[in-house]
Chain A
Amino acid sequence: MGKATVIPFGPQHPVLPEPLHLDLVVEDETVVDCMPQIGFVHRGLEKLVETRDYNQFIYIAERICGICAMGHSLGYAETVEELMGVEVPKRAEYLRVIWHELSRIHSHLLWLGLAADAFGFESMFMHCWRLRERILDIFEKTTGGRVILSVVKVGGVARDIDAGQMSEILATLEGIKSDYGALMRTLLTDSSIKNRTVGVGAIGYDDAVALSMVGPFARASAVNYDVRSFGRGAYGDLADFQPILDNQGDCYARVKVRCLEVLQSIDIIAELAAKMPAGDIAVPVKGSPADGAQASNVLEQPRGECYYYARGNGTKHLDRMRMRTPTSQNLAGMATALKGCDLADVNMIILTIDPCISCTER
Chain B
Amino acid sequence: MGYASKSPWVIHYDGSSCNGCDIEVLATLCPGFDGERFGVVNTGNPKHADIFLVTGSVNEQNIAVVKEIYDQMVEPKVVVACGICACTGGVFHDCYNVIGGVDKAIPVDVYAPGCAVRPESLIDAIVEGVKVLDEKAAALKAAKKGGR
Residues of A within 8 A of B (CB): 11-14, 17-19, 39-45, 47-48, 51, 59-60, 63-67, 69, 110, 125-127, 129-130, 132-133, 136, 145-148, 356, 358
Contact = CB atoms under 8 A, between A and B. Distances in A.
A133 B12 CA distance: 20
B78 interface: no
Contact of B31 (A67, A130, A145, A147): A130
A231 to B, nearest CB: 30
B98 A43 contact: yes
A147 B24 contact: yes
Interface in B26-42: 26-27, 30-32
Contact of B18 (A13, A47, A63, A125): A63
B13 A358 contact: no
Which one of B13, B18, B21, B23 has the greatest number of beta carbons of chain A within 10 Å?
A: B18
Nearest to A356: B19
Nearest to B13: A12
A48 to B, nearest CB: 7
A40 B20 contact: no
Given A19-B13, A40-B61, A130-B31, A65 B96 contact: no
A39 B95 CA distance: 14
A41 B15 CA distance: 7
B17 A66 contact: yes
Contact of B16 (A42, A129, A145): A42
Contact of A44 (B21, B27, B97, B115): B97
A44 B95 CA distance: 6
Contact of A148 (B22, B59, B97, B115): B115
Contacts of B105: none
Contacts of A18: 14, 19, 22
A132 to B, nearest CB: 8
Contact of A47 (B56, B65, B91, B96): B96
B91 A14 contact: no
B62 A40 contact: yes
A86 B7 CA distance: 55
A148 B44 CA distance: 27
